[in-house]
Chains A and B, each alone.
Chain A
Amino acid sequence: MSEALHPQSESELADMIRAGGPFSIRGGGTRGVLSQGTPLETGGLSGITMYEPGTLTMVVRAGTPMADIEAALADENQILPFEPLDMRPMVGSAGVPTIGGVVATNASGSRRVKAGACRDFVLGARFVDGTGMVVKNGGRVMKNVTGYDLAKLVSGSHGTLGVITEVSLKVAPKSEAVVLLAADGLSDSDAVAAMSAALTAPLDVSGAMHRGGGQTVIRLEGIRTSVVERLAALRQRLGSMGSWTVLDVEWAACADPSTLARQEGDIWCLSVRPSAAPDLVERAGAQEVLYDWGGGRIWMRVPEGTKLREQLGDFDGHATLICASPQIRATVGTFHPERAGVAKLSSALRRKFDPSQKLNPGLMG
């Protein structure tokens, strides 16, 4: 492997892309999915360039460690509402997660079910495409329909359309109060039904998870008086659907998917219709499972080498391979194959933004 490149500025990055390639792009390299090519690390493009707590906006360079961002936000009692997921415990990686990696992988956590995904909080982005062209898109305002939304397009593109150099983010005030309501021993389908009951009431549920064979937990957040009142309404609504008690732990302690990685096997993440989730889990032959987003996201561990997508057949959603040996990953593939028409559009976009296939070649297709 050639020596890693560490651009210190956007223009240096653009020069490197024009002169070299292919590149394996990484922030902190913590997400376990890397392509072939010269390692290109964005850590040199670091720093919060603007933070206005009063307008809920932050502009930050891509290589900035998540810890720095979270610390700056904590000082103002604010958060990134999409609850970015730290993948280190899951994939067993070291390194420092960066905002560039979070945005490039659209890495949203549990609050996505209410607040939206990472991409929903990206107000603007700067990136360098595969031809070395520096592009700015979007801005720092909440509403913007001026031209095409390329900031969304590069969010979640895993570096294959461009190397993100800076993003502007919408942040949010931290909730004054949080309460978790939990029940034990619900079957998967009863748990999904209970989570749906919670999410279909006007209670602003901000998290709904279920561990196969274990706990089902529902989270409420907001101003204190409101949380208290919604808790009462939630209890009433869930009434006969289990024995519900208030839990005195952190959400992350319940909803951490990395517990699945403690035993041998492949780990997958599925995005599905919540009501279809229990059946898919059964068909998958999952050894351990964590439902999040009210059942809309499934983390599961299956026996090593399981050809999960073949086993599940056609379903409304997609399955991403998170943890597996390189051999299995090479055979099974990380990302769900796209429908023919969509695949054609995706590859046309890649040819336009990265005609020489320099950026994470082959990573997404």
Chain B
Amino acid sequence: MEMPRPNAQVLARKQELVARLREVLPHDAVIDAPEEVKAYECDALTVYRCAPLAAVLPSTTEEVSRILAICHEMGVPVVPRGSGTSLAGGALPTADSVILGVARLRDVLEINTDDRFIRVQTGMTNLSVSGAVEHLGFFYAPDPSSQLACAIAGNIAMNSGGAHCLKYGVTTNNLLGVKMVLADGEVVEIGGAHMDAGGLDLLGVICGSEGQLGVVTEATLRILPKPEGARPVLFGFDSNDVAGACVADIIRAGLNPVAIEFMDRPILQAAENFVQAGYPDCEALLIVEVEGSEQEQADQLARIIEIARRHNPVAIRESASAEESARIWLGRKSAFGAMGQMGDYICLDGTIPVGKLPEVLNRIGELGKEYGHMVGNVFHAGDGNMHPLIVFDANVPEQLASAEALGAEILKLCVDVGGCLTGEHGVGIEKRDLMYHQFSTADLEAQMRVKDAFDPMWMLNPAKVFPLTASAERRREA
């Protein structure tokens, strides 16, 4: 993966930069020793690594503002970092950059259940936000699978989703307001606890901007009353086509399940070997979860089962207890770990129109054979958000390159059937160079103009999202 050549002038001024950062931050908040900055050399896309010039860990919005002002003045690129769980390289540093980590911004600032919001500092983890309101009977809806570790700052940067966004939407649908520090250190407040922010929808474009428009230090998030309970049902089918058709029928029926998860045979086998999930022997497995009171769950499940029966499932397993529910989810939740047992893997997240599921799954199978890689598919079927896992052996030369080439083919396929390159992980560096497959020059130009407006010097996370050739002029101008 190509990254821009580090700026020699910036590298030469490292000591001066560190000294200036130390003037405005506590001593332990500036990390510059080579063995210590190594901890920030990558995120969850671990195949790419580069140690930054320095890392800073501010504890307040004011400190973030001072850091950005100094870096801006000295022409030093800044790479914001939540918890470093990005699968797309969103927090990958360049050698001439400063990593700005939000890990010390961890306070709950305000909880108001009557007005149904929570205001937090963005270094809080996703799960801890829900945890802060759980005793009040509320929760924060977006639930990316890394929710134990991932920070709200990163959720906003990548517009994170999760298994339950079929019903509750993704981050952008649950974000009411932000306090954000711009590249030059200016602090702006957008939106608030009211439902619609007013004016241009700046929140809409900040959400999912991958840390390129500003550093969000505080967020006002919508919280929802926690449903009484939830219960899954599992269906096994003898072909991907039938499972896909069943998904479409359930969605169309207006039954509002909170999650519809899909696993294909390679994933099922891996999960079986790994955790003995006890899934039926089938080609495709669906887990459909519903929420509500006991009676509501039973009513919804009955109707979902009725729909599924029309597709002649080879197995139906309705959960009758918390234990059975956990059993049904076990294999799904261990799917990534299970694939990890088979080797190294790349996880993609292209999204496709739900109606194209069977066609795309079949084509992915063919492509996998062509490239000689096993590909498992586990995904949020309700919204067409695929997660093909391409297995490879990092110790065999060329395997990473061929797995990446296969990944690129699969993502192009997603775009060609009317979908997109990424549904929830973000572009980062991973899909940067595929952007021309989805967008025209004008489409990308329009997006880059937004960055021009927020960050005219292109100091924040500059080498991400846009193909380097597309952003070259702007990064040079800076």
Q: Type the 1/0 row for B257-301, where 1 means its CB is closer than 8 Å to any CB of A.
A: 000000000000000000000000000000000001101100110
Residue among B208, B382, B440 facing the most chain A CB atoms (10 A cut-off): B208
A326 part of interface (Cβ distance < 8 Å):
no
Chain A contacts of B208 at CB under 8 A?
145, 148-149
Are A146 and B421 CB-contacts (below 8 A) given A52-B353, A352-B452? yes
Are A119 and B201 CB-contacts (below 8 A) given A141-B351, A143-B424, A345-B454? yes
Q: Which residue of B lies closest to A141 (CB)?
A: B351
Cβ of A364 and Cβ of B200 under 8 Å apart?
yes
Cβ of B450 and Cβ of A55 under 8 Å apart?
no
Cβ of B450 and Cβ of A153 under 8 Å apart?
yes
A20 part of interface (Cβ distance < 8 Å):
no
Cβ of B198 and Cβ of A143 under 8 Å apart?
no
B43 to chain A, nearest CB (A): 16
Cβ of B449 and Cβ of A57 under 8 Å apart?
no
Cβ of A106 and Cβ of B196 under 8 Å apart?
yes
Chain A contacts of B384 at CB under 8 A?
55, 141-143
Cβ of B422 and Cβ of A140 under 8 Å apart?
no
A202 part of interface (Cβ distance < 8 Å):
yes
- Give the residues from 192 to 213 in chain A that come closer than 8 angstroms, CB to CB, to chain B: 193, 196, 199-203
Q: Give the number of residues in B that approach A within 8 Å (Cβ atoms).
A: 95
* 9-residue interface stretch from B6-14, B223-231, B316-324: B223-231
Q: Type the 1/0 row for A46-68, where 1 means its CB is closer than 8 Å to any CB of B.
A: 00000011111100000000000
Cβ of B172 and Cβ of A140 under 8 Å apart?
no
Cβ of A153 and Cβ of B204 under 8 Å apart?
yes
Chain A contacts of B199 at CB under 8 A?
318, 335-336, 338, 342, 346, 364-365
Chain A contacts of B300 at CB under 8 A?
223, 226
Size category of the A interface is 35 or more
Cβ of A226 and Cβ of B299 under 8 Å apart?
yes
Give Cα A16 to B188, complex, Å. 37
Cβ of A173 and Cβ of B189 under 8 Å apart?
no
Given contacts A139-B418, A147-B435, 15 further A-B contacts (CB under 8 A): A52-B353, A136-B440, A142-B383, A143-B385, A145-B426, A146-B421, A146-B438, A153-B201, A271-B194, A273-B112, A275-B115, A341-B186, A341-B188, A346-B200, A349-B450
State the B residues within 8 Å of A (CB).
Answer: 112-116, 137-138, 158-159, 161, 165-166, 169-170, 172-173, 182, 186-190, 192-196, 198-202, 204-205, 207-209, 224-228, 248-249, 251-256, 292-293, 295-296, 299-300, 303, 351-355, 380, 382-385, 418-427, 431, 435, 438-440, 442-447, 449-454, 465
State the A residues within 8 Å of B (CB).
Answer: 52-57, 106, 108, 112-113, 116-117, 119-120, 129, 133-137, 139-150, 152-153, 155-157, 160-161, 172-176, 193, 196, 199-203, 222-223, 225-226, 229-230, 233, 271-275, 293, 296-297, 316-318, 320, 335-336, 338-339, 341-342, 345-346, 348-349, 351-353, 364-365
